[in-house]
Amino acid sequence: MTEKRRLSGQDWACIALMILPLLGAMLMKTLFSPSSEGVDIHGAIIFLQIELPYQPLLITESEINSWAVIIAIVGLCLFLTRNLSVRYPGVRQHIAEWIVEKCEGLVDDSMGAFFRFVTPFICAIMALSAFSSFTAMLGLYAPTSDLNVVAGWALLVAVAITISRASCGPRAYIGTFVDDGPVMALLNIISEFATPVSMAFRHYGNVMSGAVIGVLVTAALTGLTQLLLGWLPGFLGDIPFLRIGLPAMLSIYFDIFSGAIQAYIFAMLTMLYVSGSFPMAVYEKRHPKKAAM
Amino acid sequence: MTINVQTIQALPVISINVWSILISLANLFILYRLVRRFLFKPVKKVLDARKAELEGRYAAAEQAEQDALADKAAWSEKMAGAQAEADGILHRAVSDAKLSSEAIIASAKEQAEGIVASAEEEARLERRKAEAGIRQELVGVSTSLAEKLLGREINASDHQALIDSFIEELGDSSDGSN
């Protein structure tokens, strides 16, 4: 069987699904960006404000970019999993299988094969976090540098932790806190609330600090260029020559490396907390067959 | 509820908005469902199908190997049987040949013995005949000798007993001397 190399219309639709949302986000950014002078570090641009009780619902760059990333990821999934074949996998299918098997291996290693069903959740966390950070490469506002976004994820992880704790009934749920003694019980209850907060701030702080450093270095280099090369005639004096190079290197570190590392750390912590909070001893007593699986 | 499009405005660097948090939470949950539906489900299906097929192949290969081994065993058994059969045939042929040669030799011996026996018999008869001839001669000789000595004719039939006893003595002395 020879595989058809040409991309079909549906493939192109998937590719469009990957690219167009991000292009749209970039377009919105350029249309709505306030012109700024000098050092200007601010949060996401607010596109729409809907008055709701307690707090106004804000549709900002974070939400728009998050949705663009989600649509792009779904487009990528559709693109990779088109024309799956049992015997003759193509390049795309190899990539898709590699992703699935790597994620399963990661979950198996850090949580055990018993928790394999949470693999899609871990994969979704990693993909959303990493690609959200990567949007900074396109000049977009990275949703991960908005505290609300990562706080939402951390809250969902907290829900997952609670489900894991409560999966063997209320007695086992309380047992996961108090089994290690009264002092540990207090610490466990505090850490239960501290976990989502620390996860959110860790991720937000790392990405945001990268963005802030990028802006500061860029502004500093602009000033330095004006100081050193401002004597050049005409428009040459206005070109910030020193901004060539260094900010790009910083972007490679903060956007790609740090973004990937933070996604990995967030996923690892999720796996650690969810598997650590599961009352395995109680479960093993009740279902010895299933637990041995 | 009022909706108003703001003049361009940005959030401060750090801000907390409950609705944004909830939207983000829902986003992650929706992406989890989508990834599960569009990436994991189809890929796992294919992987499982491949695993099942591979296991089927392995089982078939093992079955074929076992069949081949059984065939081999049967054939080697058959070959061993053939060898034994050939050996048996050879053995039988050899023993048959031995038997027939023995029979031939025995009959040849018998024949030879017969020949020898008949030759001896013949020789004995010859001797007997010769003896009888000699005896007859002796009778004639002794009769004529006696006639010569006595001067008269001896009637052979009258003196038969006498002659016989004489020949008997002669025969005994000749036998004894032999």
Taking CB atoms and an 8 Å cutoff, what residues of chain A touch B22? 152
For residue B174, the model assigns a pLDDT of: 52
Specify the pLDDT at position A1: 41
- C-alpha–C-alpha distance, residues A44 and A248, integer Å: 22
Q: ipTM of the predicted structure?
A: 0.88
Task: Report the C-alpha gap between A166 and A231 in whole angstroms.
Answer: 70
A125, A150 Cβ separation under 8 angstroms? no
Looking at residue A131, its pLDDT comes to 94
- CA closest to B16 among chain A residues: A148
Q: E-strand spans in A77-232?
A: none
A231 vs B97 pLDDT, higher one? B97
pLDDT recorded at residue B26: 94
A82 occurs within a structural domain: yes
Number of domains in chain A: 1
- Which pLDDT score is estimated for A83? 83
**Cβ separation of A67 and B42 shorter than 8 Å?**
no
Nearest-CB residue to A81 (from B21, B30, B42): B42
> Smallest Cβ distance to A55: which of B19, B26, B39?
B19
| Average pLDDT along chain B | 84
pLDDT in tens, A245-269: 788 888 888 888 999 999 999 999 9
Residue A1 lies in a domain: no
The token pair at B81 is: 């049987």
- Section B98-114 average pLDDT: 91
Give residue B178's pLDDT: 43
How many angstroms separate the CA atoms of A153 and A266, rounded?
10
Name every chain B residue with its beta carbon within 8 A of the beta carbon of A43: 10-15
pLDDT confidence tier of residue B153, bands split at 50, 70 and 90:
low
In the numeric block, the tokens 């198996």 are attached to: A108
For A42, residues 6+ apart whose C-beta sits below 8 A from its C-beta are B10, B11, B12, B13
Judge whether A227 lies within some domain: yes
pLDDT at residue number B99: 92
Question: Is A4 a member of any domain?
Answer: no
A56-90 CB burial, b ≥16 within 10 A, e <16: bbbbbbbbbbbbbbbbbbbbbbbbbbbebebeebb
pLDDT at A269 (0 to 100): 94
Residue A260 to chain B, least CA–CA distance (Å): 17
Residue A2 within a domain = no
Task: Give the tens place of pLDDT for each residue, A4-52.
Answer: 567 788 889 999 989 999 999 888 888 877 666 556 677 788 888 888 8
* Cα distances (angstroms) measured from residue B5 to each of A47, A60, A153, B9: 7, 12, 28, 10
The residue ranges of chain A whose pLDDT is under 70 are: 1-5, 34-40, 237, 291-293
* CB-side neighbour CA atoms (13 Å) of A37: 0
pLDDT over 90 percentage in chain B: 57
What pLDDT is attached to residue A6? 75
In a domain, A201, yes or no: yes
**Residue A99 maps to a domain:** yes
User: Using the beta-carbon criterion (under 8 Å), do A55 and B18 form an inter-chain contact?
Assistant: yes
Contact criterion met (CB below 8 Å) for A49 and B10: no
Q: Print the domain residue range for A257.
A: 9-31+40-292
Best residue in A61, A63, A100, A118 to probe B by mutation, most B CBs within 10 Å?
Answer: A100
**Does residue A53 belong to any structural domain of this protein?**
yes
| pLDDT at site B3 | 47
Nearest CA in chain A to B48: A86
* Residue matched to tokens 């959740």: A121
Residue A171 carries which side chain, given as an amino acid letter? R
Please answer whether residues A120 and B39 qualify as being in contact, where contact means their C-beta atoms are separated by less than 8 angstroms. Answer: yes
Residue-level pLDDT at A2:
47
Q: What percent of chain B has pLDDT over 70?
A: 86
The reply to whether residue A60 touches residue B11, judged by beta carbons under 8 angstroms, is yes
Instruction: Kindly determine whether residue B15 and residue A156, on different chains, have CB atoms separated by under 8 Å.
Output: no
Chain B contacts in chain A segment 177-236 (CB below 8 A):
208, 212
Virtual torsion, Cα A96, A102, A108, A109, nearest 10 deg: -170
Res B5 pLDDT > 60: no
Examine the pLDDT at B147 and tell me if it is beyond 90. no
